[in-house]
A and B are shown apart, each in its own frame.
Chain A
């Protein structure tokens, strides 16, 4: 907590010791890109709380504490964030008790909250109860000249969803284990892509675009659903826009990438970290080469390799400031010269630390 008092100190900590820091973009560039009614702003991103009921009124303490800590810290940011996104997987097994308990914790947030659907919120009742609390499964909104889109990217084929499992509880359990070979690849799906095409048809191509999804809208590792099956189709709808940012949860680790005009940033979980897929020795995976890994998680420290994010949007591009509880802070920012996101401290291989490569 001592590291995190105000937004200014957060920014200073992120920039500390970095030569030619990207956090201090030339002011003229900011003014140029946000000429007129646009302005620089920040929002908070909290994700993957996995609130888990033991029985009755008892819940797994570890996961509760991660979410509570993120909410408490997010409320301390000054100036206040414009809004908060919750990136999905509020619950572990989609139970009403878990969603209610998580929603109660999230209800303490001061700024306006919007939510993304995760598979752990969905596969018990297909998002019905979640929807009563948080509304549509996919939607868009505009804020200070930026167009935001929220997708439900964890849909799978109808046969798996409706005909494969004897009970909704069984369906949820099959989807809950990340590495379960009985799972099914995520997708956005044709219906939602048609909605997205229509939604974007009203938006000028020089409008900065931010898309929130639970799964990566790119293909990294199918075995753990670090994957969206129709990623290319979704990307092709986004490519005409000059500045596109996709922010996703699900992976519980730092990832970033650039594909054409689209910058990708993942966010951390508040619950627990996941290893990078290349640490599973029996399968091929494609972590974006740009990504400098987060430190290898150490289970001795409950909050190691977990945290939340403060996202700055300037020049229509994302700067993700990872608020990490048991690790040095990390900042991934769009570098206009490279045309891609970079870690402002660790991008050069010579600057990396052993826990970022010991997987």
Chain B
């Protein structure tokens, strides 16, 4: 058993030396699929962004942030003076959900939070990443 494991390990090493690892292989079809999966989530994010039911008072994110402007995803994580600590963008999203939208916060890994953050990042694409700035 021990021997066969060692042999398999050696075999794997020698194969790696001969060809690129399988994990690094992807095709145009893969790229297209990943892009379309991402765009599906961006579209869900846009739909949440304009939704009057994300909070409880009918206010939508888009009312203050057309095209997700003035959200500055490129500056996070950053020191948020009102929180007194370095915070991530999802924490600010939750601040907005609780206050202007008078709603409930979302978990950091809630698919709706992922959709919101994907939409915000997509609208800001091309802007240089500048963490910790304002």
With both chains docked as a complex, state the minimum distance between the C-beta of A157 and any C-beta of chain B, in angstroms. Answer: 22
Asked if B50 lies at the interface with its beta carbon under 8 angstroms from chain A, I say yes
Q: Is the CB of B59 within 8 A of A60?
A: yes
Q: Using a CB-CB cutoff of 8 Å, which residues 24-67 of chain A contact chain B?
A: 50, 52-54, 60-62
Q: Is the CB of A300 within 8 A of B95?
A: yes
Given A280-B123, A281-B124, does the pair A179, B66 have CB atoms closer than 8 Å? yes
Chain A residues closer than 8 Å to B58, beta-carbon distance:
52-54, 60
Asked if B125 lies at the interface with its beta carbon under 8 angstroms from chain A, I say yes
Asked if A288 lies at the interface with its beta carbon under 8 angstroms from chain B, I say no
Give bound CA distance, A297 to B65, whole Å. 11
Residue of B nearest to A300 (CB): B82
Asked if B19 lies at the interface with its beta carbon under 8 angstroms from chain A, I say no
Q: Is the CB of B64 within 8 A of A62?
A: no
Asked if B28 lies at the interface with its beta carbon under 8 angstroms from chain A, I say no
With both chains docked as a complex, state the minimum distance between the C-beta of A327 and any C-beta of chain B, in angstroms. Answer: 15
Asked if B100 lies at the interface with its beta carbon under 8 angstroms from chain A, I say yes
Could you say which of B99, B126, B127 contacts A299, with CB atoms under 8 Å apart?
B99
Residue of A nearest to B64 (CB): A272
Chain B interface, DSSP helix/strand/loop, else mixed: loop
Asked if A107 lies at the interface with its beta carbon under 8 angstroms from chain B, I say no
Using a CB–CB cutoff of 8 Å, the interface residues on chain B facing chain A are 50, 56-60, 62-67, 69-70, 82, 95-96, 99-100, 123-127, 134
Q: Is the CB of A281 within 8 A of B126?
A: yes
Residue of B nearest to A224 (CB): B66
Residue of A nearest to B96 (CB): A299
With both chains docked as a complex, state the minimum distance between the C-beta of B64 and any C-beta of chain A, in angstroms. Answer: 5
Given A60-B59, A282-B123, A299-B99, does the pair A275, B69 have CB atoms closer than 8 Å? yes
With both chains docked as a complex, state the minimum distance between the C-beta of A249 and any C-beta of chain B, in angstroms. Answer: 16
Known contacts A178-B66, A280-B69, A359-B70; 14 further A-B pairs (Cβ under 8 A): A60-B57, A60-B59, A178-B62, A179-B62, A272-B64, A275-B65, A279-B70, A281-B127, A282-B125, A296-B70, A299-B96, A299-B99, A300-B95, A302-B99
Chain A residues closer than 8 Å to B57, beta-carbon distance:
52, 54, 60-61
Given A52-B59, A300-B82, A358-B134, does the pair A280, B95 have CB atoms closer than 8 Å? no
Given A179-B67, A359-B70, does the pair A281, B62 have CB atoms closer than 8 Å? no
Asked if A138 lies at the interface with its beta carbon under 8 angstroms from chain B, I say no
Give bound CA distance, A60 to B66, whole Å. 19
With both chains docked as a complex, state the minimum distance between the C-beta of A101 and any C-beta of chain B, in angstroms. Answer: 14
Q: Please, what's the 1-or-0 string for A339-359, where 1 marks a CB less than 8 Å from any CB in chain B?
A: 000000000000000100011
Give bound CA distance, A52 to B56, whole Å. 13
Residue of B nearest to A298 (CB): B82
Chain B residues closer than 8 Å to A272, beta-carbon distance:
63-64, 100
Asked if A273 lies at the interface with its beta carbon under 8 angstroms from chain B, I say yes
Given A299-B96, A299-B100, A300-B95, does the pair A282, B59 have CB atoms closer than 8 Å? no
With both chains docked as a complex, state the minimum distance between the C-beta of A60 and any C-beta of chain B, in angstroms. Answer: 5
Q: Is the CB of B50 within 8 A of A280?
A: no
Chain B residues closer than 8 Å to A274, beta-carbon distance:
64, 66
Q: Please, what's the 1-or-0 string for A193-223, where 1 marks a CB less than 8 Å from any CB in chain B?
A: 0000000000000000000000000000001
With both chains docked as a complex, state the minimum distance between the C-beta of B77 and any C-beta of chain A, in angstroms. Answer: 17
Q: Is the CB of B67 within 8 A of A273?
A: no
